[in-house]
Chains A and B, each alone.
Chain A
Amino acid sequence: MGPESQGFASQSRHHYWKIALVALGVACAVAAGLYQLAHMYVLNEAERNIQAVLLAHKGMHRYIQEVMHPTFYKLKAEGLVAEKFYAPEILSSSFIVRNQHKAYNEERKAAGLEEVYYKMAALNPRNPVNKADAAEEKLIRMFNENKELKNYREVVQIDGKDYLHVAMPFLVNQQKCMKCHGDREDSPPGLQLLYPGEGGFNEKVGDIRAVESIRAPMEHQYFFLYILFASSFAGLLVLAGLLFLNTRLRDMVRVRTQALAQEVVERRRAEEEVRKANEILEDRVEERTAQIAAANKELDSFAYSVSHDLRAPLRGIDGFSLALLEDYGEALDGTAKDYLGRIRAGCVRMGDLIDDMLQLSRVSRGTIHREAVNLSAMAGEIAADLQRATPERRVVFEIAPEITVFGDVVLLRAVLDNLLGNAWKFTAKTEGARITFGRQEEGGKEVLFVRDNGAGFDMAYAGKMFTAFQRLHTPQEFEGTGIGLATVQRIIHRHGGSIRADGDVGQGATFYFSV
């Protein structure tokens, strides 16, 4: 990555912080709103549950007061019930409801539910169990001071658990209530008999006599709250995650796009450089080619000059040596004649050297014109030429038929001329001389060979044979310039082939080559 994209990365990190902050703020706001809503819902739900209990109570109260009481008074008026009879178990709505609620709680407990606290809390109850506690007393006063207030609710904690405490005025004292709750003396004698104290008496019309105080656990509602909260929080988390991921992906795409753009620019630059380098190279190749062409041309004229200018003096030396021998032979003694003979032999040998050198230089120059060449036929012609030149020699030629390769006919002729010529030369002192031109498979490739049973050579010098002017025999043993095999190797190499020699002293030689 380049420095630019690193800068971009830190910039996007900054970006993430911003997003995280915004997401946190939104999450908090949403959570707060949700909490408010949920809290309200939970309270309402809890209240509704409590209300259900209270409404059941109210129904009970009404039934007692609206059905049972008139029936009781009617029976009393008819004398069916004794004047003094009073039993709260069947006449006091608060007694009945309290005990009904007690039974209700027992049922709840049996069903595995927590009890619901309920009290008909009064400041001056007939039954002490209905006596309001400090909090309830305060509530009764509050309701009395503000008659408009119909409901009070509060979440209270008891033993670390939340409860919804609801209170509502039970009833406002009316004139008819005074029959039993007014002056003690005015109340039914049965009642007086039953309740000796002042509890439940001396109430005033218009006053709120009692409140219904009820308290229900909020566990279930909270459970719901937890679920709501957890799920909304999880949702928010997922949302934030998606948002973050989206931003990240976008940033990654942006960074990658920028990197790619950078890469494209760099590639173009590299391509441009390569193109320029190529141009330079091409120019250089052109220059070198021109230089090589010039050098080749120089070499050509050099070779031409060698061919002419070195040979002409030789011819003079040889010619005039012979003229001396012919014209002044009788004036020369044997030694002088021998010297002149040596001069002439040297001239011929130097002439051969020049010719072979020229051939060696010629095979390195010029282009190769490849065509199908029948080497078997060519070897046959050469064998015939050799035999014709020295008819007295007896040599058996074995030439494998139909050896055809793809190469330059002139250069391949030089190869076979040299190899067969060598074989011919080095079998000169061999009885039953045999020269073979054949082919064999070597590692899936066709290899050609020229084999003789002549003088052979020491394998220690096998590598040296292909070096120009390197000879393994003295001119007295076998004549030669030492250029032939160098020429052969150069031609084979120019054809993309290879050549090697195999043999032993007195055991003949074999030259393997491929084209």
Chain B
Amino acid sequence: MRTNMILLVEDNPDDEALTLRALQKNNIINEVVVARDGVEALDFLFGTGVYAGRDLSLMPEVILLDINLPKINGLEVLEKIRANERTRLLPVVILTTSNEEQDKIKSYTLGANSFIRKPVDFQQFSEAIRQLGVYWLVLNQGPPLVKG
């Protein structure tokens, strides 16, 4: 079943709060699931660990994925998402502080749909989040659902 859920993978509580505030400020009222590290994100997507038994037919409309994460980093999470039949087509937006060329190359190589750098200026950040929401949640036609 298609939902308008957003999966936010973010370990920094400040960034989490700011992202949620930016979404709220831009009137994006979709449900936001927050995973605070790579393991939690994968548990949610694959219905394992703390999310064991979750209804896997409910998949996020877009995944906002930070790279620098504890345990399993964002790029590994992306690799696993793309390797799994059920999640391989999900739109993944890398939302990171990094401006490293290597990170961009790796992200796109692993199949990221977009690479957004978080600006320091909150107004710019807020604007980026707004555009993200408009694009991925309104304009973009997501992939067909994969039957589980």
A312 near B: Cβ within 8 Å? yes
B21 near A: Cβ within 8 Å? yes
Residues of A within 8 A of B121 (CB): 318, 344, 347-348, 351
Are B15 and A312 touching (Cβ within 8 A)?
yes
Residues of B within 8 A of A307 (CB): 97-100
Cβ contacts A296-339/B at 8 Å (1 or 0 each): 00000001100110011111101111110000000000000000
Interface residues of B (CB under 8 A from A): 12, 14-15, 17-18, 21, 68, 96-100, 118-123, 125
Are A312 and B122 touching (Cβ within 8 A)?
no
Other-chain contact of A314, B68, B96, B100, B120 (Cβ < 8 Å) = B120
Are A308 and B98 touching (Cβ within 8 A)?
yes
Residues of A within 8 A of B15 (CB): 312, 315-316
Are B120 and A315 touching (Cβ within 8 A)?
yes
Residue of A303, A316, A323, A351 most packed against chain B (CB within 10 A)? A316
Q: How far is the CA of A344 from the CA of B122 in the complex (A)?
A: 9
Residues of A within 8 A of B99 (CB): 307, 355, 358
Can you name the residue of chain B whose Cβ is closest to the Cβ of A304?
Answer: B100
Chain A binding site: helix, strand, loop or mixed by DSSP? helix
Interface residues of A (CB under 8 A from B): 303-304, 307-308, 311-316, 318-323, 344, 347-348, 350-351, 355, 358
Given A308-B68, A320-B14, A323-B21; A315-B98 close (CB under 8 Å): no
Residues of B within 8 A of A303 (CB): 100
Can you name the residue of chain B whose Cβ is closest to the Cβ of A326?
Answer: B25
Can you name the residue of chain A whose Cβ is closest to the Cβ of B121?
Answer: A348
Are B120 and A347 touching (Cβ within 8 A)?
yes
Given A312-B12, A316-B14; A351-B98 close (CB under 8 Å): no
Measured CB to CB, the closest approach of chain A to B47, in angstroms, equals 30
Are A319 and B125 touching (Cβ within 8 A)?
yes
Are B21 and A312 touching (Cβ within 8 A)?
no
Residues of B within 8 A of A314 (CB): 120
Can you name the residue of chain A whose Cβ is closest to the Cβ of B122?
Answer: A319
Residues of A within 8 A of B118 (CB): 311, 315
Are B12 and A318 touching (Cβ within 8 A)?
no
Given A348-B121, A351-B120; A319-B18 close (CB under 8 Å): yes
Residues of B within 8 A of A308 (CB): 68, 96-98
| Apart from the given pairs A312-B14, A316-B18, A348-B121, 18 other A-B contacts in the complex at a CB distance below 8 Å | A304-B100, A307-B100, A308-B96, A312-B12, A312-B97, A315-B15, A315-B97, A315-B119, A315-B122, A315-B125, A318-B122, A319-B18, A319-B122, A320-B14, A322-B122, A323-B21, A351-B119, A355-B99
